[in-house]
Amino acid sequence: MLVAQPINTSSGTQLRPIDTLRESVKLAAGLTENKLLGHDAYQRGLDAIHRFGERLRGFDPGKVRAVATNTLRVARNSANFIADAEQALGFPIEVIAGVEEARLIYIGASHEASAVQGNRLVVDIGGGSTEFVIGTGYEPQLLESLYIGCVSHSMQFFPKGAIDAHAFKEAELAAQREIQVISGAFLKAGWRQAVGSSGTARALADLMMANNLNGDVNHPEGLITREGLKLLKKKLLQFDNVGEVELLGLKDDRRLVLPGGLSIMLAVFNELGIDSMEVTDGSLRIGVLYDLLGRAQHDDMRFVTVEQFMQRYAVDRDQAKRVGKLAADFLEQLPKPNLENRSDNLALIEWTANLHEIGLSISHNGYHRHSAYIAGNADMPGFSKKDQVRLATLLLGHTGKLGKLATSEGFLDWRMLFSLRLAHVLSRGRIDADLPAVKVSLEEGGFVVSLPKDWANDHPLTEFSLKKEALEWERIGRSYRIKLK
């Protein structure tokens, strides 16, 4: 956990770390063969998060962001763990996709690494995944996440810390096969600076410096060299088990995962043709904070992503704006539940309206299902998995049958869905016609739509559509009353 203070300067805003808490929980080591998070790892994680929660007491929820990465992307019981962890922490926890993790890692690394003209390659070897990013300045451009990590690799190829030359070779080749899938695109893009971020890279650099494995080559922030990696591997192979390894600077929490991390880094150097790599402490945590700072300063990456999708799928912007404006107006008329973040939901309404017709690029029939599939499965920088699920659900439900959503226990956005569906019905003509003052309200078990009777009589298709909409809501047990006055 990182606590930082924003410092405003004439050149922009910087984050100054003021407190850090770190516990090595190794959730990835707790995954069973059935991809379940085992009891011991589950409890270790909750205990650590509970302790972190004490440090965060009194923080403004808008100034805290907690993210979960690979282990909770793949664990089948991750939803249970997240629910328990959120209660222990006192704040929401987002499970982020691999590509989103890569984006945030690059943001953090680019703010901490030495400046360079041209492309920068950032590699982050985590416990269960490794992220690769090429970017320029603070902007990531090419992002990939592979399912190889120092914990999972160590468990697979070096069980119980056993070391031998054959296992090392197999571990390197396995990692290199994974990297081959992306190496062509990365080599084509090229880079002038290679940076290793986070724990594995820092641990390797520290070991090389402490044991003089880089020779005369050095760097003030730490350096990993090809020759240094080879010498480190040679030293490890002098022992039969990591528990016996004697190296200056080898920390206990890194001992068991050292062979896995080293074999992956060797594969990275070999497959991408790297001779040396700078190291930075700036990674995911710094990136998350800068991204959170951007949201606070109205520089939210999610709006950029939605804009890119609108361009890619040639969205009718006038229609999107029409639906979004009406839906936001209807939501604002409805009472705000205690736990609702209205500003977040208004943003989600806007994104849904902007993307509700992207499925038309595939087919007119059932386009809403295509829109939902794209939003639910595409790489969407800035969006958490939960963001994407909510977005996809609203896209799926903004038109058509409601029965497909009625059995969803986790769907809580009925006010938003009502607002979007009503806006969609009233915007069917795709023109900026002068709508009357449409009022909406809640009544027990459902909604009330009030509009002038004369206007409804002059617009029989809209009145008919509203009556069909009322029947659809009644089919799922919710009242929907049309009040003509």
Q: Would strands 479-484 and 446-451 be described as parallel, antiparallel, or unpaired?
A: parallel
Count of residues for the chain? Answer: 485
Q: Would strands 12-20 and 130-136 be described as parallel, antiparallel, or unpaired?
A: unpaired
Query: How large is the angle between the packed helices 317-333 and 342-355, nearest 10 degrees?
Result: 150
Q: How far apart are CA 344 and CA 417, in angstroms?
A: 15
Q: Is 246 exposed, middle or buried (0-12, 13-18, 19+ CB in 10 A)?
A: exposed
pLDDT for 410: 47
pLDDT for 162: 95
Q: How far apart are CA 101 and CA 130, in angstroms?
A: 10
pLDDT for 205: 93
b/e per residue 87-119 (b: at least 16 CB within 10 A): ebbbbebbbbbbbbbbbbbbbbbbbebeeeeeb
Residues of the chain falling short of pLDDT 50: 409-410
> What amino acid is encoded at 339 in this protein?
L
Q: How far apart are CA 276 and CA 101, in angstroms?
A: 24
State how far Cα 217 lies from the chain centre.
37
> What amino acid is encoded at 46 in this protein?
L
459-to-204, 336, 399, 462, 468 alpha-carbon distances in Å? 71, 31, 20, 6, 15
Structure tokens, 129? 């995944």
Q: Which residue has the tokens 């599939």?
A: 373
- Check if the beta carbon of residue 386 is closer than 8 Å to that of residue 398: no
Of 409, 408, 381, 383, the closest CA to residue 396 belongs to 408
Q: Which residue has the tokens 């979004």?
A: 324
Q: Enumerate residues 6+ apart whose C-beta is below 8 A from 105.
A: 122, 124, 131, 133, 197, 198, 283, 284, 287
Q: How far apart are CA 470 and CA 447, in angstroms?
A: 9
Q: Is 37 exposed, middle or buried (0-12, 13-18, 19+ CB in 10 A)?
A: buried
pLDDT for 404: 77
> What amino acid is encoded at 475 in this protein?
R
Domains and CATH numbers, the chain: 2-95 (3.30.420.40), 98-281 (3.30.420.150), 300-433 (1.10.3210.10)
Q: How far apart are CA 301 and CA 351, in angstroms?
A: 12
Please state the φ and ψ torsions of residue 258, each to the nearest 5 degrees.
Answer: -60, -45
Structure tokens, 73? 């992307």
Of 470, 468, 469, the closest CA to residue 481 belongs to 470
Q: How far apart are CA 19 and CA 7, in angstroms?
A: 15
Q: Enumerate residues 6+ apart whose C-beta is below 8 A from 484.
A: 450, 451, 452, 453, 456
Which one-letter DSSP state was computed for residue 11? T
pLDDT for 343: 86
Q: What is the residue-wise DSSP string for 153-200?
A: HHHHHSGGGB--HHHHHHHHHHHHHHHHHHHHHHHHH--SEEEEEHHH
